[in-house]
Amino acid sequence: MSSCLVVLTTVPSPKVARHLASVLLKKRIASCVNISSGWESHYWWKGKRERAREIMLVIKTRAPLYTDLEKTIRKNHPYTIPEIIAISIQKGSKDYLDWVIRETAQPRSR
């Protein structure tokens, strides 16, 4: 089993997605952030069914960095309760997972 995670979050616009990706990469708490547009989310909010167009971010990181990554997402996210879901990577390409580890092992600026 790997010490790497995939973290998912959704944001309301490409501008927010690019900003969040940039912050995570600059801090070296993510090795890669995929930005995928065209998501339509359906959900309950304050007792009402809602629907929104959103952008999905797929973030690759290491498990020990999760707390810092979550804090950074919350600080830079416009939603009151942002979606932040971490999924453990059970298996994956050794070369790719080694790269994730290397790229997030660099000194981070705060």
The string of pLDDT tens digits covering residues 44-96 is 999 999 999 999 999 999 999 999 999 999 999 999 999 999 999 999 999 99
Give me the CATH number covering residue 31.
Answer: 3.30.70.120
Number of domains in the chain: 1
DSSP 29-93: S-SEEEEEEEEEEEEEETTEEEEEEEEEEEEEEEGGGHHHHHHHHHHH--SSS---EEEE--S--
Give this prediction's pTM. 0.93
Q: Please report which confidence band the pLDDT of residue 107 belongs to, taking 50, 70 and 90 as the band edges.
A: low
| Token couple for 64 | 């020990």
Q: Identify whether 17 is part of a domain.
A: yes
Asked if the structure places residue 48 within a domain, the reply is yes
The verdict on residue 100 lying in a domain is no
pLDDT, averaged across the chain: 94
Note down the domain range covering 20: 4-86
Residue 9 within any structural domain of the chain: yes
